[in-house]
Amino acid sequence: MPKYNPSNIEKKWQNFWQAERLFESADKSKKQKKYILVEFPYPSGDGLHVGHIRPYVAIDIVGRYHRALGYEVMLPFGWDAFGLPAENYAIKNKIKPQIATEKNIANFKRQLQSIGASFDWSREVNTTDPQYYKWTQWIFLQFFKAGLAYEAVAPINWCPKDKTGLANEEVIDGRCERCGTLVEKRNMRQWFLKITAYAEKLIEGLTDLSWPDAIKIQQENWIGKSRGAEIDFKIGTNEQKNKVTVYTTRPDTLLGATYLVLAPEHPLISELNSEIKNWSEVQKYINDAGAKSDIQRSSLEKEKTGVQMKGVFALHPVTGQELPVWIADYVLVSYGTGAIMAVPAHDQRDFEFAKKYQLPIIEVIDAGGKLTNSGEFDGLTADSAKNEITKKFGRPKVQYRLRDWLFSRQRYWGEPIPLVHCPKCGIVPVPEKDLPVILPDIENYEPTGTGDSPLAAIDSWVNVKCPECGAAAKRETNTMPQWAGSSWYYLRYCDPNNSKQFAAQQKLKHWLPVDLYFGGMEHTTLHLLYSRFWNLFLYDQGLVPVSEPYARRQPHGSVLGPDGEKMSKSRGNVINPDNVIKEYGADSLRMYEMFLGPYEQAAAWNPQGIIGVRRFLDRVWNFVSENSSSKKQNSTKAETEINRLIKKITDDINAAKFNTAVAALMQSFNKISAEQVSKELLQKFVIVLAPFAPHISEELWQVLGHKKPVVFERWPEFDPAKLQSKTVQFVIQVNGRFRGNLELPKDSDQHTVETEAKKLQTVSNAFSGAEVKKVIFVPNRLINLVC
């Protein structure tokens, strides 16, 4: 038998699997289905590093394991190729995105095949393929027809570097999620998807999902349900006409409201301008506030600023007192009603503001939680006062922090929004038969920064006839965000080549929901939320059979560079799997990826660490080859060990504890290889090794005399009776003094133990011929011979 040399065997098996199409899943299989999904990547120009590969190895292990259990496994893969990363790469390298994307995909695919990933390539999807985005556009039109896609001029998040609008979800701590640039506000015409209509369903749907709590809580907080009340205050001199409505979660503190605050963008301000005595001061304040982001404005640490609208007063609905009205940027126009009643005695931000501007502070809740200074409500608990005051002076109101999804981008590399602007008919959807609206091949695809996408400059594309009346009309030139294609790709995998529908109902029924979804924590309030929204909508339209797409979610920790820092080109700490495979082989790479540490946690790549894994595989290779025609029986220890190993690996894969599974393989192998083993035991060992190290396992399976590949083998069962060791150690004493240990079958009776003990040299020495007078026997523990 030659030495283990991965480069001699890995390509061979990859080609075999591919040629035999072993991993293509059948829609009509009699087996139970298992749909296992991993988030599809952006095919960036840099290729995959070892961090990207970790989830692909994990999902491959889970997929191979379930095939061995007898499931019809769907393990699809595809490319999320629209959007900024692909486009920025193309601009930087002066290659058209279409061409760069194709090249990058080929490289990614080569890398994935080189790790032996068992994806079903017959289901490959690519979001930039017109046959794919035809249906992305079609789904958008369903939103439009249902009134859930709308156009509006609104102050939006604008990334000055990427030169595009961003959704709230793409702004992380005030910065662009992609490039980290501070986000600005811009007033622009935009397209929105009404995700807020699904706020409640998005919260409710979480209940039955077996997702980690941390993810559920993060989504719930992002949606941010709040219960409170709306209360009206009359305002200005024309009291008949003008009122301001505030949103409060503390209606019980109404009598403590000593002034009102409006957001700088509140529409009432300009309506009142003739009454405002310090109009120019007010205007200046409003202009300054416009430049700040919401995050900057609502930061708790920030010193509060504001300006009073002199000459304008609001009337307190209970006391009729005149209250001053201020404008301050800590009140956001996008939340609640954009106006608050300020209760400085009970709200920290109001308190700081009142101190700074010397506004009155009235305490209305005493130390015992009862109302005070509140007239007829004095003595009520805060809870009952909330109800009473809401009933008398306001209306109950549920409020969500979630905002509608800003869905248009001023960039080239995205799905064109399939709408036409007609001077007579208004906004007209492109008829279904004319889909897809193809993204034109153009020369200048760099972002303009003017708020128009580069498409706006292509007259031949923009100018069309109105689909309804035939008049000269113009195409919508905004494109969709990178999150569009990924919002429904798991549906397309069920029926990737359908040209009549986005997917056939019966196939969706067969495969959905996704049983297990691997993906990153960073997508919790982006892709994971968006795709649940699309799915809920399509479910309501009767177009998908399940309301929730992902039954179980498995997050992963990232792989850090050897320096413990995030892998990045600029740090020079990126580990390329191509090099690792060249040096150690794909199986060592796979096992080391899993061995790094708990799957959910970040772990640093240790270039030395993989050597241990490689040595393990060398030893497995030699031991199995040497014993491949073993006629021996298993020793009791070996028998126990293999049963324990099978149980451990089974449990660990089910719980996504891949690192302890690899450790168990190594430890068990050490024990087994010191014992007498049967060929049958080696076969079991190879079958449970196969999901982790599939290439060496195929090769050894052949060495063990099999013609069919190991991927067809059933997962071995363990014998629960054999999990316990069958022998125990007895302590042997003479007259209460320790004389040695004896390993004997479990539950040996007193006579057997006594006979064996007497054979010991140390025991007969201690007797020196005397008779045994008494025996103390503790089953499975001890025997004490007294003479």
425's contact among Zn ion, ligand ANZ, none, with CB below 5 to 8 A by partner kind, is: Zn ion
Residue whose entry in the numeric block shows the structure tokens 């499931």: 71
Given the complex with ligand ANZ, which of 332 and 504 has the nearer CB atom? 332
Q: Which is nearer to ligand ANZ, 36 or 331 (CB)?
A: 331
Alpha-carbon distance 413 to 98, whole Å? 9
Nearer CB in complex with ligand ANZ: 324/561: 324
Lookup result for tokens 């889970």: 62
Which residue from 424, 571, 582, 632 is in contact with Zn ion, where contact means CB under 5 A? Answer: 424
Of these partners, Zn ion, ligand ANZ, none, which one is at the site of residue 253 (CB under 5 to 8 Å by kind)?
ligand ANZ
**Residue 422 in contact with Zn ion, rule: CB under 5 A:** yes
Task: Considering only residues 454 through 513, tell me which ones interact with Zn ion, judged by CB under 5 A.
Answer: 466, 468-469, 471
Burial class (CB in 10 A: 0-12, 13-18, 19+), 339: buried
Tell me the sheet residues that pair with 775: 785
- From 650, 677, 649, 647, select the one nearest 661 (Cα to Cα): 649
The full 3-state SS of 295-355, as one line of letters, equals HHHHCCCCCCCEEEEEEEEEECCCCCCEEEEEEECCCCCCCCCCEEEECCCCCHHHHHHHH
Compare residues 273 and 463 and give the one whose CB is closer to Zn ion: 463
Could you tell me the smallest distance in angstroms from the CB atom of residue 377 to ligand ANZ?
Answer: 15
Count CB atoms within 10 A of the CB of residue 488. Answer: 23
> What does 466 interact with, of Zn ion, ligand ANZ, none (CB < 5 to 8 A by kind)?
Zn ion
Q: Which is nearer to ligand ANZ, 162 or 347 (CB)?
A: 347
347 binds, among Zn ion, ligand ANZ, none (CB under 5 to 8 A by kind): ligand ANZ
Nearer to Zn ion, 424 or 726 (CB): 424
CA distance 52 to 48: 6
Nearest approach in angstroms of CB 603 to ligand ANZ is 37
| Site residues for ligand ANZ per CB under 6 A | 226, 247-250, 253, 263, 331-332, 335-336, 338, 340-341, 343, 346-347, 399
Q: Is 632 strand, coil or helix?
A: coil
- 249 is in the binding site of which of Zn ion, ligand ANZ, none (Cβ under 5 to 8 A by kind)? ligand ANZ
Output 338 or 519, the one with its CB closest to ligand ANZ.
Answer: 338
Q: Rounded to the nearest whole angstrom, what is the least distance from the CB of residue 232 to ligand ANZ in the complex?
A: 14
The answer to whether the CB of 345 falls within 8 A of the CB of 351 is yes
| Cα–Cα distance measured from residue 100 to residue 588, given in angstroms and rounded to the nearest whole number | 31
Nearest distance from C-beta of residue 416 to Zn ion, angstroms: 19
DSSP H helical ranges for 606-656: 609-626, 636-654
203, 227 Cβ separation under 8 angstroms: no
Q: Total binding residues for Zn ion by CB under 5 A?
A: 7
Which lies closer to ligand ANZ via its Cβ, residue 361 or residue 663? Answer: 361
User: Which span (39-47, 224-232, 421-429, 595-603) binds Zn ion, by CB under 5 A?
Assistant: 421-429
The one of Zn ion, ligand ANZ, none whose footprint includes residue 683, by CB under 5 to 8 A per kind, is: none
Q: Residue 335 CB, nearest distance to ligand ANZ (Å)?
A: 4
Minimum gap (Å) between residue 470 Cβ and Zn ion: 7
Token pair belonging to 596: 């790094």
Interacting partner of 673 out of Zn ion, ligand ANZ, none (Cβ under 5 to 8 A depending on kind): none
What is the SS3 string spanning 124-142?
Answer: EEECCCHHHHHHHHHHHHH
In a 10 Å sphere around its CB, with 0-12 CB exposed, 13-18 middle and 19+ buried, how is residue 556 labelled? buried
469 binds, among Zn ion, ligand ANZ, none (CB under 5 to 8 A by kind): Zn ion
Closest CA to 688 of 757, 766, 624, 614: 624
Residue among 226 and 299 whose Cβ is closer to ligand ANZ: 226
Residues binding Zn ion (CB under 5 A): 422, 424-425, 466, 468-469, 471
